[in-house]
Amino acid sequence: MDNRTRILQEALRLFSNRGYEAVGVQEICEAAEITKPTLYHYFGNKIGLLEAILHHWGVDFDQRVSVAAEYHGDLPLTLNRLVKAFFELAALHPEFYRLQLALWFAPPESEAGKTILPSLKRQHDSIEALFRKAADDHGNMRGRDRIYAISFLGLVNSYAAIFLNNLTQLDDELCFRILHHFMHGIYS
Amino acid sequence: MDNRTRILQEALRLFSNRGYEAVGVQEICEAAEITKPTLYHYFGNKIGLLEAILHHWGVDFDQRVSVAAEYHGDLPLTLNRLVKAFFELAALHPEFYRLQLALWFAPPESEAGKTILPSLKRQHDSIEALFRKAADDHGNMRGRDRIYAISFLGLVNSYAAIFLNNLTQLDDELCFRILHHFMHGIYS
DNA sequence: CTTTTATTGTACCGATGAGTATAATAAAAC
DNA sequence: GTTTTATTATACTCATCGGTACAATAAAAG
């Protein structure tokens, strides 16, 4: 493994476990067994390192979400695929997902929070677009794409958070239950 | 206003805007126009200050949520009251709510995240208890109190976050839409 | 008034923060 | 082999970090 990758991985581990601000560059260097100028050579500065992390793991994230959100006429199937995509990502990249959750409602003026905003917006937009297209087939849903996208993400990420705290399994049954609730409400 | 209260308010403002770790004690002292030993006199250390903040504003929060979550046989009414309680809290204490959201999915080993956990758990437990009681009147809901509490909080906090970013108003119509979706799903 | 307690400050500590100039070493190109 | 480029390090900067010893000041109690 090359140094650059090892720095990314160690930094991700530390940031996801303790937060971007609480972990200093020196600690990351010690974990990655390199010195500070090496880190600065590759990433320019601390925020550059975070940007590199968000890009490195974000590519797979964005791709899986946007592919899963493609609507071809079957909304339950698409939503099922989408929930599954998020769950897979939580299982494949737990640390990255955890970092993303930590920054989801980050303070408005925080460096890390501002840096991740474009990524979060992309995710939201993919899902909102899905509901917008689905509204063509479901008249009742018209004009609600935004509210449903917000709700969907709120739901999925709440469960992802609980999974990442080892308090649940993200299995097919849970997927079914979440979607059932989302689509049909609490009385059915 | 006494110094202690001014420290609490300035710290809350800074923490909610930039995050607990990113704001140093010196900066809080300058904002509150006192010196560090004064702050340490009142709060012992930095985490003591955060604990005092969580307690100071958390009392009202806990009380409003637990009162609103009392179930007397009418679930839609109770849920409506509960959503309204959260929205009121967002409007009355935006900075405190923002801080709470920032720490909701905080990194597991972060000082601030660990400190707020008891508060978050209390909120969750009030809501889970509500759904447990409501399940006596709605057989279909039995065994789902946890999943509904998680979903409910995921929803409400997602909207609170958007409100706090000035992207929406938390009015009666939005309250209705959120609850309608929560209770009846997306097709109705 | 004096004494005690509460409140507030001056000056300081050692460690760590993000970052940098320059040199050394390793690898690639010719 | 030499030269160029890429990679990595030593040693350092100034600022800030959370916190503290002790003193000074203000307020309360007697």
Q: Is B144:B75 a contact under the CB 8 Å cutoff? A: no
Closest-CA residue to A156 (of B162, B185, B150):
B150
CB contact under 8 A, B148 and A181: yes
The answer to whether the CB atoms of B16 and A181 lie below 8 A apart is: no
Tell me which residue has tokens 């299995």: A171
- Contact residues for B180 (Cβ-Cβ < 8 A; gap 6+): B188
Helices (H), chain A: 3-18, 25-32, 36-43, 46-68, 75-92, 94-104, 111-134, 145-164, 172-184
As its CATH architecture, domain B57-184 has Orthogonal Bundle (1.10)
- Across the interface, which of A107, A148, A185 has its CB nearest the CB of B16? A107
Q: List the one residue out of B38, B182, B161, B105 whose CA is nearest residue A102.
A: B105
Q: Per-residue pLDDT for B109 more than 90? A: yes
CA A28, A58, A98, B58 dihedral sign is positive
- Contact state of B155 with A154 under an 8 Å Cβ cutoff: yes
pLDDT means over runs of 10, chain A (188 residues): 93 97 96 95 96 96 95 94 96 96 96 96 95 89 88 94 87 90 83
pLDDT for B183: 87
d(CA A59, CA A68) in angstroms, rounded, equals: 14
Quick check: A6 CB within 7 A of strand D?
Answer: no
| Number of Cβ pairs < 8 A linking chain A and chain B | 139
State which amino acid sits at residue B45: N
Residue numbers of B between 72 and 101 with CB closer than 8 Å to A: 98-99, 101
Best A23, A100, A186 member to test B by mutation, with max B CBs in 10 Å, is A186
Domains in chain B: boundaries: 57-184
Question: What is the mean pLDDT of the segment spanning B28-55?
Answer: 96
Helix B94-104 and helix B3-18, axial crossing angle in degrees, nearest 10: 50
Token code pair at residue A117: 């905003």
Residues 23-62 of B with CB under 8 A from A: none
pLDDT digits (tens, 9 = 90+) for B56-83: 999 999 999 999 999 999 999 999 999 9
3 state SS of A75:
helix
Residue A99: the pLDDT is 97
Q: Give B89-102 pLDDT, tens digit per residue.
A: 999 999 999 999 99
In this prediction, residue A1 carries a pLDDT of 77
- Are the beta carbons of A19 and A101 closer than 8 angstroms? no
Nucleic strand C contact set for A 104-163 (CB, < 7 Å): none
Q: How far is the CA of B33 from the C1' of C11 (A)?
A: 18
Q: CA of B79: which chain A residue's CA is closest?
A: A186
pLDDT digits (tens, 9 = 90+) for A36-62: 999 999 999 999 999 999 999 999 999
Stretch 113-132 of chain B: residues touching chain A, C-beta under 8 Å: 113
CB contact under 8 Å between A186 and B187, yes or no, is no
Instruction: State residue A140's pLDDT score.
Output: 82
Residue A150 has its nearest CB partner, among B98, B107, B158, at B158
pLDDT (0 to 100) of residue B142: 85
**What value does the mean pLDDT take over residues B124-143?**
90
Question: Tokens representing A126?
Answer: 């993919």
Q: Do residues A41 and A128 lie in contact, with contact meaning Cβ atoms separated by under 8 Å? A: no
Q: Are B184 and A183 an interchain contact pair (Cβ–Cβ within 8 Å)?
A: no
Give me the pLDDT at residue B141, please: 82
Question: B3 with A2: CB under 8 angstroms?
Answer: no
To the nearest whole number, what is the mean pLDDT of chain B?
Answer: 93
Provide the percentage of residues in chain B whose pLDDT is more than 70: 99
Confidence at residue B103, expressed as pLDDT on a 0 to 100 scale: 97
Q: From the alpha carbon of A40, which nucleotide's C1' atom is closest?
A: C19
CB-to-strand D under 7 Å, chain B 45-84:
45-47
Q: Provide DSSP, A31-73.
A: HHT--HHHHHHHHSSHHHHHHHHHHHHHHHHHHHHHHHT--SS
- For residue B170, the model assigns a pLDDT of 85
Interface residue A157 vs chain B (CB under 8 A)? yes
Rounded distance between C-alpha atoms, residue A34 and residue A31, angstroms = 8
What DSSP character marks residue B1? Answer: -
Q: Please answer whether residues A98 and A164 qualify as being in contact, where contact means their C-beta atoms are separated by less than 8 angstroms.
A: yes
Q: Do B140 and A188 touch (CB under 8 A)?
A: yes
Q: Per residue in A5-19, pLDDT tens?
A: 999 999 999 999 999
Burial class, A136, CB count within 10 angstroms (exposed 0-12 / middle 13-18 / buried 19+): exposed
